[in-house]
Amino acid sequence: MTRVFSGNASPLPSMTKSYPGSEAYTTDDLPEIDYLFITHDRWDHLDYKTVVKLKSKVKQVITSLGLRQRI
């Protein structure tokens, strides 16, 4: 599942807005997460702000070595 909780999926806030209605939930609404899979970090696929907010809820992150160092 791909989800953008920060309002946009781009390094520039005015671009790539999230879909209307996607603000119905926040990261606080999510339960503890067993595994977070991140396949790549292309700017339009990785909502870094959301990943940082989820960090305390995730038991294990599964990703490539280079990306793992950034999270």
For the segment 14-50, what is each residue's pLDDT rounded down to a tens digit? 777 777 776 777 889 999 999 988 877 765 567 777 8
Token pair of 65 as six digits? 């070595």
Alpha carbon distance 41, 39 (integer Å):
7
- Give me the residues paired with residue 60 across strands: 35
Residue 42's pLDDT is 66
pLDDT of residue 20: 74
Query: CB of 62 within 8 A of CB of 36?
Result: yes
Domain boundaries, the chain: 28-68
Rounded Cα–Cα distance for residues 47 and 12 (Å): 12
| 41 CB-near residues (< 8 Å, 6+ apart) | 48, 67, 70
